[in-house]
Amino acid sequence: MTPRLVVVEIEKFFSTRAWFWTALLLAVVAAGAVAVMGLAAPYSDPPLPGIDTDQGVRAAVGVTALLAAVPALVGVVGMTSEYQHQTITPAFLAVPRRSPVVVAKVVAYAVIGAGYGVVAAAMVAASLAGSALVLDVPLGAGAPEIAGMLLRVVMAMTVYTMIGVGVGALVRHQLTAIAVLGGALYFLDQVLLVVPGVNTVYPYLPGGATAALTNFTLLAEQAGSETGLAMPDLLSPGAGAAVLAGYALAAVAVAVVLPVRRDVV
Amino acid sequence: MERTGVTIRVEGLTKHFGKVAAVQDLSFTAGPGVITGFLGPNGSGKTTTLRCLLGLVRPTGGEAVIGGRPYARLADPLRTAGASLEASNFHPARSGRAHLRIQCRTAGIPQSRVDDVLELTGLTDAANRATRGYSLGMRQRLNLATALLGDPSVLVLDEPSNGLDPAGIAWLRGFLRRLADEGRTVLVSSHILSEVQQTVDRVVVVYRGRGVAEGTLGELDPEGEGLERVFLRLTSDTPAEPAARTSGREDR
Ligand SMILES: Nc1ncnc2c1ncn2[C@@H]1O[C@H](COP(=O)(O)OP(=O)(O)O)[C@@H](O)[C@H]1O
Ligand SMILES: [Mg+2]
């Protein structure tokens, strides 16, 4: 890996304003989702666990892992815009072996994804603290425990960003890639969750693995209670992390192998 | 400036895109100190040839080398060969300067070259503006600036006069001449003979992916029938019409 090329990718990322708007979007939605979960829990029907319980805190933090779509999108755009604007051409002219460029891109976007994760985690922490203050209840989990949960959100966002880069390398056309990513992560996961027989694969999909990692079972439980289906057990957090790491590796393989082999026309 | 000349050599180059034979068994050379025009109508395989030469497209057969090596095996590619391809290889939201800075860093070239090439191509005043606001002519200049970053011995330019006004074409002519006089190898493609006629020393003419002529302008038109007519004859399927009828039609 060439550190110089990683710096170039970071420089490209900050050279337009998109990073600011996406980070802002993530921050606002993360803070908002947690506040809504926290403040509305006492009044919701069916009742949600309050943030003065361990489960309630876990649900509030777990919901933000769903926002990994935002950094995943950033990863998709980071890769596809190289093709859309043909900036991949000068990059490959400068480094005709190509793989150093794409490896640097994946490394840079892992760092960038972790950055988005940190932004989300900070907003979640602040929003949890604020909600507890407003409701005048103690949080149902201690600071180290919450920090551990937030770390998992950061991990999930890192991996989703890498998956985004991989999908971008695979599909190249920006809007198609966004549709593929959104469809795979949000539609397919949820649909498969409620198809009997097929839903046994859910724990191994990115969404299921993320739910395992963040110990966030709300979606599966709700799907179960609405459909009356037996829900597959989620993996253990460690196994969820391993599955996510597998997706990250697959994304890296796709992101490196395809651009290196294909013609740039 | 003293340069050791670097020669471009294309040998039996063939490229198929699926069923489309974009380039077929094409061979030619372009040497240092001269401007070689690479001529042919749209769709005749010029861009594909240049992309093969630059390692962007993998040939189906044959080879295209710079100083005896495929582009991908050059020790220091941007310092050996600079290229300008289609009119836009830049992110619309980045400034021309940011584009050049990024390219410098990618290639490990000192950032001081950015101001040098902006100056050379007359882009200094526009450098800090986003490229989405650039005219076609400014894009071509930014392409040239990018090609010159590594101060290369070889320049490969795909339709660099596309979108330039007559003043721009005149400027480009002088600019390329200076580069060639410095001992560089300059290969310039165009689909319009008249745009490069006064610029180039030699031409390679392609039609439907095949080489149909190569030589100096004088060698191409030994009878003095006019380059325009020679070019049209080489790049059409039907033999040229008798001179009288052609001129008759032009008189109307
Ligand atoms: N990526 C591609 N896929 C399929 N066909 C292509 C591709 N690129 C070029 N072609 C075809 O190859 C031929 C040569 O194209 P090109 O090299 O762009 O010609 P020129 O630059 O002389 O206009 C054309 O018929 C064109 O349609
Ligand atoms: Mg072309």
Give the integer Cα–Cα distance in Å for A31 and A49. 18
- Report the pLDDT averaged over residues B21-39: 97
> If you measure from the C-alpha of residue B42 to the centroid of ligand 2, how many angstroms do you get, rounded to a whole number?
6
User: Mean pLDDT of all residues in chain A?
Assistant: 90
pLDDT at residue B110 greater than cutoff 90: yes
Q: What is the pLDDT of residues A99-132, one digit of tens each?
A: 999 999 999 999 999 999 999 999 999 999 999 9
Among residues 66-85 of chain A, which lie with CB inside 8 Å of chain B?
81, 85
Interchain contact, A8 vs B106, CB within 8 Å: yes
Q: What pLDDT is attached to residue B239?
A: 55
pLDDT at residue A214 greater than cutoff 90: no
Pocket of ligand 1 (CB under 6 A): A 265; B 17, 20, 22, 40, 42-48
Q: What pLDDT is attached to residue A227?
A: 74
Give the position, in ligand 1's atom list, of the atom nearest the Cα of A263.
1
Query: Are A47 and A222 within 8 A, CB to CB?
Result: no
Q: Cβ of B144 under 8 Å from any chain A Cβ?
A: no
**Dihedral sign, Cα of residue B220, residue B216, residue B61, residue B56:** negative
Q: What pLDDT is attached to residue A48?
A: 78
ipTM of the prediction: 0.91
pLDDT at residue B249 greater than cutoff 60: no
> If you measure from the C-alpha of residue B10 to the centroid of ligand 2, how many angstroms do you get, rounded to a whole number?
17
Of B51, B89, B105, Cβ closest to residue A11: B105
Q: Cβ of A17 under 8 Å from any chain B Cβ?
A: yes
Contact residues, chain A, for B88 at CB < 8 Å = 85-86
Query: Are B131 and B94 within 8 A, CB to CB?
Result: yes
The 10 Å Cβ neighbour count of residue A134 is: 11
3-state DSSP assignment of residue A15? coil
Contact residues, chain A, for B48 at CB < 8 Å = 265
Q: What is the pLDDT of residues A33-66, one digit of tens each?
A: 999 888 887 787 777 788 999 888 988 888 888 8
- Going from N- to C-terminal start, the domains of chain A cover 3-261
Could you say which ligand is closest to the alpha carbon of residue B48? 1
Q: What pLDDT is attached to residue A175?
A: 95
Q: What pLDDT is attached to residue B244?
A: 43
Q: What pLDDT is attached to residue A1?
A: 74
pLDDT at residue B222 greater than cutoff 60: yes
- What is the set of domains in chain B, with CATH numbers? 8-249 (3.40.50.300)
Q: What is the pLDDT of residues A2-18, one digit of tens each?
A: 899 999 999 999 998 99
Of A8, A16, A17, Cβ closest to residue B105: A8
Cis peptide leading into residue A46 (ω within 30°): yes
State how far Cα B185 lies from the chain centre.
11
**DSSP per-residue letters across B146-167:** HHHTT--SEEEEESTTTT--HH
Local confidence band at B23 (pLDDT 50, 70, 90 cut-offs): very high
Q: What pLDDT is attached to residue A81?
A: 95
3-state DSSP assignment of residue B113? helix
- Report the pLDDT averaged over residues A122-150: 93
Q: Cβ of B107 under 8 Å from any chain A Cβ?
A: yes
**Dihedral sign, Cα of residue B176, residue B177, residue B182, residue B184:** positive
Distances (CA, A) of B132 to A98, B89, B91: 27, 11, 8
Ligand 1 probe mutation, B15, B48, B60, most atoms within 8 A of CB: B48
Q: Which one of B46, B106, B144, B158 makes the best mutation probe of the A interface by having the most chain A beta carbons within 10 Å?
A: B106
Distances (CA, A) of B99 to A6, A147, B7, B55: 16, 40, 29, 21
Locate A185 and state its tokens.
Answer: 């992560």
Q: What pLDDT is attached to residue B2?
A: 56
Ligand 1: which residue has its CA nearest to atom 20? B43
Q: Cβ of B249 under 8 Å from any chain A Cβ?
A: no
* Single-letter amino acid code for the residue at A230: A
**DSSP per-residue letters across A156-177:** HHHHHHHHHHHHHHHH-SHHHH
More confident residue, B172 or B2: B172
Q: What is the pLDDT of residues A59-86, one digit of tens each?
A: 888 888 889 999 999 999 999 999 999 9
Residues 6+ apart with CB under 8 A from A252: A103, A106, A162, A166
Q: What pLDDT is attached to residue B245?
A: 40
Locate A250 and state its tokens.
Answer: 């697959």
Q: What pLDDT is attached to residue A217?
A: 72
Q: What pLDDT is attached to residue A122?
A: 96
pLDDT at residue B252 greater than cutoff 50: no
Q: What pLDDT is attached to residue A145?
A: 93
pLDDT at residue A208 greater than cutoff 70: yes
Give the integer Cα–Cα distance in Å for A220 and A227. 11
Q: What pLDDT is attached to residue A147?
A: 94
- Report the pLDDT averaged over residues B136-162: 95
pLDDT at residue B96 greater than cutoff 60: yes
